[in-house]
């Protein structure tokens, strides 16, 4: 297992992040970050709140500009938001005055203006059905529960057929029982489309990362290189209960947790050495 991020050689597609630094309001959020994400890879960005996961996703989406270093996609610098890179957050972003179906149709028409209207509507209904929403396509977002709105947001993102999906901890607002069910849905939907999509999911839940991803990149609480960059050696689709009992799952979970404990010990030791005491 690798405990420090060691990016493979850059290719002509996928993401390349080199010597990335990002600061906001005098605080360095990301520093000395290098990584590669290959086309079709499913990567989880894991780490505690405030470690820069969301900022990194926004940089990959083109919604932020690096303070230093570079972010590129398919061999080109990322400069502004693009339909190729869709970002999903826990807030649905669905238009409340449109039905679920019309929300999807509007997004599909904007992304694919040459698509005939009948094809746009069929694509919308197909993806709503895939997300288990075939019976509520005529409902407006505010008529639906939070988990159904999330399903609608996910269906809309998938219907655009973007080569990249960036998900910013979209399940963090749900209770444990709902979260587990939506993780299963997310796994099923992403497995269905993932061979032709690159997926990057930010999460604070190590079990969620292990259950869903091909690879986990762990960011520490202090800006710097990734603490962890490891592959998940379990093929997908994964049966959740069997996965939790698998020796390789337990070993990988232990390795990741140990890496964070070691980083915390080193950080505390450094602060004590320089006279800052116990605070962090």
> Alpha-carbon distance 33 to 43, whole Å?
16
Residue 252: its H or E element: helix 247-273
- State the pLDDT confidence band at 275, using cuts at 50, 70 and 90: low
> Alpha-carbon distance 16 to 72, whole Å?
5
Angle of helix 176-193 relative to helix 146-159, nearest 10 degrees?
10
Q: Evaluate whether residue 145 is within a structural domain.
A: yes
Q: What percent of the chain has pLDDT over 70?
A: 90
The per-residue DSSP string of 58-121 comes to HHHHTSS--SEEEEEETTEE--S--TTEEEEESS----TTS-HHHHHHHHHHHH-TTS-HHHHH
Reduced to 3 states (helix: H, G, I; strand: E, B; else coil), residue 71 is strand
Give pLDDT tens digits for 23-72: 988 899 999 999 999 998 999 999 999 899 999 999 999 999 999 999 99
Give pLDDT tens digits for 89-120: 877 689 999 999 999 999 999 999 999 999 99
Q: Evaluate whether residue 134 is within a structural domain.
A: yes
Domain count, the chain: 1
> Residue 151: pLDDT above 50?
yes
> Alpha-carbon distance 133 to 182, whole Å?
13
Q: Evaluate whether residue 268 is within a structural domain.
A: no
Q: What percent of the chain has pLDDT over 90?
A: 56
Give pLDDT tens digits for 2-27: 433 333 333 446 899 999 999 988 89
> Alpha-carbon distance 66 to 30, whole Å?
9
Q: Evaluate whether residue 214 is within a structural domain.
A: no
pLDDT at residue 270 in the model? 65
Q: Evaluate whether residue 226 is within a structural domain.
A: no
- State the pLDDT confidence band at 246, using cuts at 50, 70 and 90: confident
pLDDT at residue 10 in the model? 38
- State the chain's mean pLDDT as an integer: 86
Q: Evaluate whether residue 279 is within a structural domain.
A: no
Q: Is the dihedral of CA 74, 76, 77, 78 positive or negative?
A: negative
Domain region containing 130: 94-161
Count the neighbouring beta carbons within 10 Å of the beta carbon of residue 61: 22
Q: Evaluate whether residue 156 is within a structural domain.
A: yes
Q: Evaluate whether residue 131 is within a structural domain.
A: yes
């Amino acid at each position: 297992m690798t405990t420090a991020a060691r990016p493979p050689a850059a290719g002509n597609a996928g993401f390349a992040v080199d010597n990335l630094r990002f600061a906001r309001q005098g605080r360095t959020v990301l520093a000395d970050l290098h990584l590669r994400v290959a086309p079709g890879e499913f990567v989880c960005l894991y780490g505690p709140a405030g470690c820069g996961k969301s900022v990194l996703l926004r940089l990959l989406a083109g919604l932020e500009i690096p303070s230093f270093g570079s972010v590129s996609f398919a061999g080109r610098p990322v400069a502004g938001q693009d339909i190729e890179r869709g970002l999903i957050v826990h807030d649905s972003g669905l238009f409340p005055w449109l039905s679920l179906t019309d929300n999807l149709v509007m997004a599909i028409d904007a992304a694919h203006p040459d698509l005939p209207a009948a094809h746009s509507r069929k694509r919308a209904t197909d993806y709503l059905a895939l997300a288990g929403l075939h019976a509520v396509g005529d409902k407006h977002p505010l008529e639906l529960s939070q988990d159904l709105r999330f399903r609608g947001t996910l269906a809309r993102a998938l219907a655009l057929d973007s080569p990249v999906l960036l998900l910013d901890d979209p399940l963090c607002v749900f209770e444990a029982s709902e979260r587990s069910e939506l993780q299963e849905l997310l796994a099923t939907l992403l497995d269905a489309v993932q061979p032709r999509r690159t997926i990057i999911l930010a999460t604070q839940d190590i079990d969620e990362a292990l259950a869903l991803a091909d690879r986990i990149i762990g960011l520490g609480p202090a800006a710097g290189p990734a603490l962890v960059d490891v592959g998940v050696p379990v093929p997908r689709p994964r049966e959740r209960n069997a996965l939790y009992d698998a020796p390789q799952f337990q070993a990988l979970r232990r390795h990741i947790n140990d890496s964070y404990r070691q980083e915390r010990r080193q950080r505390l030791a450094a602060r004590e050495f320089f006279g800052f005491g116990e605070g962090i």
